[in-house]
A and B are shown apart, each in its own frame.
Chain A
């Protein structure tokens, strides 16, 4: 594989701005980087920081993923006409949907909307805290995806394709830009769901394994279960640090002796370095996860003092700590709570209560630390929900028009982009397909058309053959 990839590129005669694949696969000494690898190997660190094709506006991404599909017309996309026509039948043919059997009437939002800040952008009563930071965010009201089921939609959102194996956007980002901290993974996903694509949503697929996301726990675990060992094998349960150093010195002694009679094999040296890096990592990485060391005021800002907001607050605060330490792509997941086929009012209320304050806390905290300018925060979901009712009090999936928002790193602030039709069913103005979101996200960091990888007979990129950068939202 190693040599193959390298040579294939030579054969293809492609302009490859990246380090050679052969070097990468044969010699890479570290999953998280290879700081300290000297001389010839240093230049070939697959996770070394790389200069993109132009100066990036964002250095890192924090993706706040609301799994299940929060309703855009009940959060960031008010629809007066829907209020007026509530109870009437939908005046056009309903597109392919998830619960095919049921056809409900139009249903107005049970929440009111207020205009916030100087921009006056409307936010529903579900998100008063987010309302308070509205002048820092750019709402996109014209998202479009291709899948009406969660699995396909999650895979498309995370990898660009709903049915075929593709690398995750976080993998593409660190493949393109490298990692700024070699003691931590460059791409971390906190408490991800194992469903709807599971690990494929943070997988490097055919990119080399070093670009794979590292999962911190999963959505089935409590914060307390994760804190003990956030990254696998990071702690030795029997040996003191001294004993372990003593043991490691012996391994290295044997390894160097072994290498004396074996030449022309950089792998052997790379593995020696991997052990040194591992030793340093286990000493230094745990500190990044010590969220409890934050000040009381900071913890309060994220809602760690409140059982309702504690889980997501912990995720957001951890995300900030990781961002500060140079982790390139961080995802927080509010996992599979937003799928309100019924009980929209009750459940959206309790869901929003869990995330509203932590989200606003994160944006405020990043801003006060001067990090918001080069950190792109994305609040997003796999799809929105239908303006027609499902059952008596639910809404079905709607990938044809929904909302997300972004903040920081190169996007306009206090700005709304795109629009859905008067009921909020279809995106009709400045449509932003998931591919366009990916193109725009990469554009803030790297050129999506030039970030390619040759595999299985052709060049691939996150946006494949699609993707238009939404230039109107750039600051």
Chain B
């Protein structure tokens, strides 16, 4: 509130006179981006009054005394930290100008006090498409912006790519898959000028498009199917968010809506006719599905870390700024004071991310039903009843089990000695049982129990070490111990039985029986419960129940049968966020929740126009935040998104740091193009598909990846987009295209292969993600255990899924080559395809021609088929066994599949 007041007051008192004094001009150029509306370190250099007042380090200027002014000391390096941070020092002239201006009294007339001088924090304005010399090259307005920069440098765009190159490029780009054989033939046959446009439209309307472009967004949204960090608990319904993203792209959902739903979908009205906003709830998985330290015992810290993660992903993914850097101190380079950070934290701290935090132990993540309350409560009620009845039944079984063991337990030592005779000397169990007068089924279970295993059972060490003649006495000792604990158990049961009788008389719920683990001895528990030798037999157990237990057991069973006559199906659930308790957030000084600073309101950073979010009416403020993010005055959201679209088409963005538009990010190589795209995007209703068409149909997109020496040398890093950048396929494209080659791809859409809940044992291999080499669905649908992502994905530079990923690396490493050379996955694809080719065509030439078209998406060139068949002949001669020809074909197909031509797209 105070800052709003200051802002308004300043706006009213702004001087608007003629030319700025040179000192003011320097200050506005270098200082007010941070020491303006954002008041980093409390300092506001927009007016004389606030400059004289200064910030946390004291007054910035002492009029008439430049040498004593902190401002001069900071820009000249006489005081630390030197200003401006992270940028080149001011020139000597600029510093001299400031000195002189202060010495003369620091006259502030002429100051403009703009909101921000940083390009990215100013609202984009639509520029006109530039005039270019070679107007014929301009197919969509995009081309004018690209060509203008090239012409400025006297360069030519690369020539057009060949038809087949373009088809392979655009098909992989839009769908993550290669063109099918028929699609290649059709495209080559179509000589009409619209041939390429038809391809683009076909691809954009394919469901494969969402599977590719949804995955791009999932990189940014750091999607995974478990919490990662300490315990890596599964998110059982994360896949619904993933599928929603894919469908949103396929349906061309307006991106402003797409963004709003991810921040506040749960607070948006349900669609007409529905009583629950199912999609809206699912969409908030964006906030919910991050890494979470759920076993952190300091729960205040855990909550602060989860809020931090939500600020980080929201600010990077949607706004392209690194706001999380302002958690412990003001941002070092961008105008985000900690107050901005905690104003955003206030929103997420008032958002529900856990259904149970607890005072310790493992917290439970929030999830919500996708049906209305009443339906959900019926389900909760039903499962609650069933659970309770089943528990009671189990408890009776357990209690009776212990009681049952009381019979043979007097002969425990005999059973042990007899069992030893059976498992050690291979004696016949039936004969031994008869001879010793023991029950055969019980003895069999003793044999099973006592047979030494690799499990760690230190309580059996004494038995295993006992030798003749002391074995009998060891058994007697075990029996003695057992009886001690059995007596203890009997007492527990007796107490419980009395309680049950009393409860039955009073027509009340029976109390649960004691749990086996009230007895500390593992030998007793193992022998008496579960599948232990003295536990109840698994079949016909009821015959040996006591009368009281049997009556109670039958009553409970009848009740259960009655309840289960009207089952209530489990409703769909979502891992999502909801509205929490309203938190009155204060700044955590140095990031510590024990060190509270000023209270803050709920709003985005001031420098981005955060005050314009307006009054918060929801609990958390997420709905207001969502609207602000996609509002007409937001300087970043549209720019950040269209830049990503550009980047995913051209491998590099116009801003090459897509998650950082701050001072340490890169400035756009084509700022006018970026603003033209951003404003056009908004004008066209935030349609991604319309932007795709603008880009894909441009000449810029259709350039060759080869260009003239002069242009290549002048633009080696391709900052001017003077050629189309060649790229290595992503792991999804590699795996999916391999699965297409031998036609093993399972085109099933959506759903999940992940099973189970919670996490797995500390030494369990179940903690691994499922291995994508063992499945044939599209790669995007493989579940991702965040702590142990699939090795294959990691190998080929998949995202790390813990923070918003702006761009994948593309490395070329030897273990990737080993995958091609040696993996059974690649081998199986090559073998299957070889069999199909050998069965399908009669002639080796035709076979090889098909192989080239099928694998490399182009006809074989002269000489290639001959070389290939020579290879096959030679290889077949070398191969032992009768299947030399098959092995030779398999080998050559693997050659094509592993070649640079396959793995790179021109």
Contacts and interface: CB of A to CB of B under 8 A. Distances in A.
B15 interface: no
A25 B651 CA distance: 14
Given A98-B360, A271-B812, A220 B232 contact: no
Interface string B788-829: 110100110100101100111111111111110111100100
Given A8-B657, A233-B823, A282-B822, A194 B764 contact: yes
A152 B296 contact: yes
A98 B664 CA distance: 41
A196 B762 CA distance: 7
Nearest to A24: B811
Contacts of B656: 3-4, 7
B456 interface: yes
A238 B871 CA distance: 18
Interface residues of B, number: 103
A274 B763 contact: no
Interface string A296-328: 000000000000000000000000000000000
A32 B814 contact: yes
A194 B887 contact: no
A205 B297 CA distance: 24
Interface stretch (B76-84, B223-231, B272-280): B223-231
Contacts, number: 295
Contacts of A148: 297-298
Contacts of A27: 812
A251 B813 contact: no
A427 interface: no
A278 B817 contact: yes
Contacts of B761: 195, 220
Nearest to A67: B762
Interface string A200-238: 100101101110100000111100000000011111111
Contacts of B662: 457
A458 B332 contact: yes
Given A12-B86, A220-B763, A456-B322, A155 B229 contact: yes
A180 to B, nearest CB: 16
A233 B813 CA distance: 13
Contact of B817 (A13, A219, A275): A275
A416 to B, nearest CB: 30
Given A12-B86, A195-B759, A236-B821, A98 B297 contact: yes
Given A96-B298, A163-B229, A233 B878 contact: no
B520 interface: yes
Given A232-B791, A235-B822, A335-B763, A350 B231 contact: no
A263 B710 CA distance: 12
Contacts of B904: 267-268
A15 interface: no
A212 B794 contact: yes
B660 interface: yes
Interface in B562-583: none
Contacts of A208: 809, 811
Given A4-B657, A151-B293, A243-B875, A209 B794 contact: yes
B812 A250 contact: no
Nearest to A225: B765
Contacts of A248: 821
B874 interface: yes
B603 interface: no
Chain A interface residue count: which class?
35 or more
A152 B764 contact: no
Nearest to B653: A4
A118 interface: no
A92 interface: no
A231 B813 CA distance: 14
Contacts of B810: 1-2, 25-26, 267
Contacts of A203: 800
Nearest to A277: B814
B293 A238 contact: no
A65 to B, nearest CB: 13
A278 B818 contact: yes
A250 B871 contact: yes
A199 interface: yes
A346 B878 CA distance: 60
A385 to B, nearest CB: 15
Interface string A230-263: 0111111111001110111011001100110111
Top 10 nearest A-B pairs (CB, nearest first) are A151-B230, A198-B787, A31-B813, A194-B767, A457-B322, A278-B817, A336-B762, A1-B807, A165-B802, A233-B818
Given A163-B296, A210-B813, A456-B660, 16 more contacts: A1-B809, A7-B666, A100-B359, A149-B295, A162-B293, A164-B308, A165-B291, A194-B765, A194-B787, A199-B794, A220-B763, A235-B822, A237-B822, A238-B827, A261-B706, A278-B814
Interface of B: 86-88, 228-232, 291, 293, 295-298, 301-302, 305, 308, 316, 322, 325, 332-334, 359-360, 456, 458, 520, 652, 656-657, 659-660, 662, 664-666, 705-706, 709, 712, 716-717, 726, 728, 759-765, 767-768, 785, 787-789, 791, 794-795, 797, 800, 802-803, 806-819, 821-824, 827, 871, 874-875, 878-879, 887, 891-892, 894-896, 898-901, 903-904, 906
8 contacts: A25-B810, A100-B359, A197-B228, A203-B800, A246-B875, A255-B901, A258-B901, A282-B822
